[in-house]
Amino acid sequence: MNTLASFFTILIYPAGLTLVLLGMFYEWLDRKLVARFQNRVGPRWFQPFADAVKLLAKEQIRPGIVNPYLFFGLPVAALAGASTAALYVPLLGFAPPSSFSGDLIVTLYLLSLPTMCVGLAGWNTTSRFSVIGATRSLTQLFAYEAPFLLALLGPALVAGSWQISEVNEFAQTHWLILTQPVGFLVALIGLMGKLELPPFDAPEAETEIVAGALTEYSGRGLMMFKLGKSIELVVGLTLVSAFYLGGLTGIGSFLIKSIALLVLMAVMQTLFTRFRIDQTVGLWWRFGAIVVLMQIVAIILWKGYMP
Number of residues engaging other proteins in binding (CB under 8 A) = 30
What counts of helices (H) and strands (E) characterise the chain? 14, 0
Shortest distance in whole angstroms from residue 131 CB to other proteins: 7
Shortest distance in whole angstroms from residue 271 CB to other proteins: 7
Tell whether residue 278 is a contact of other proteins (CB under 8 A): yes
Q: What is the spatial distance between Cα 215 and Cα 250, in angstroms, rounded to a whole number?
A: 40
Q: Evaluate whether 81 touches 117 at the Cβ level (below 8 Å).
A: yes
Q: What is the spatial distance between Cα 111 and Cα 101, in angstroms, rounded to a whole number?
A: 18
Which one among 5, 279, 287, 302 touches other proteins, defined by CB under 8 A? 279
Tell whether residue 286 is a contact of other proteins (CB under 8 A): no
Site string for other proteins, 20-39 (x = CB under 8 A): -----------------xxx
Of 114 and 203, CB closest to other proteins: 203
Shortest distance in whole angstroms from residue 293 CB to other proteins: 24
Of 198 and 247, CB closest to other proteins: 198
Tell whether residue 128 is a contact of other proteins (CB under 8 A): yes
Residue 80's alpha-carbon distances to 76, 227, 267, in angstroms, are: 6, 10, 30
Stretch that binds other proteins, among 4-12, 110-118, 121-129, 253-261 (CB under 8 A): 121-129
Tell whether residue 275 is a contact of other proteins (CB under 8 A): yes
Of 214 and 277, CB closest to other proteins: 277
Which one among 6, 11, 40, 46 touches other proteins, defined by CB under 8 A? 40
Shortest distance in whole angstroms from residue 136 CB to other proteins: 8
Site string for other proteins, 184-223 (x = CB under 8 A): --------------xx-xx--xxxxxx-------------
Angle between helices 251-271 and 219-244 (to 10 degrees): 110
Instruction: Look at residues 96, 114, 113, 116 and name the one whose alpha carbon lies nearest to residue 227.
Output: 114
The sign of the torsion formed by the CA atoms of 203, 271, 187, 306 equals positive
Q: What is the spatial distance between Cα 29 and Cα 49, in angstroms, rounded to a whole number?
A: 13
Instruction: Look at residues 228, 218, 206, 204 and name the one whose alpha carbon lies nearest to residue 135.
Output: 204
The letter for the amino acid at 198 is: P
The sign of the torsion formed by the CA atoms of 92, 246, 258, 99 equals negative
Which residues of the shown chain bind other proteins in the complex (CB under 8 A)? 37-40, 126, 128-129, 131-132, 135, 198-199, 201-202, 205-210, 270-279
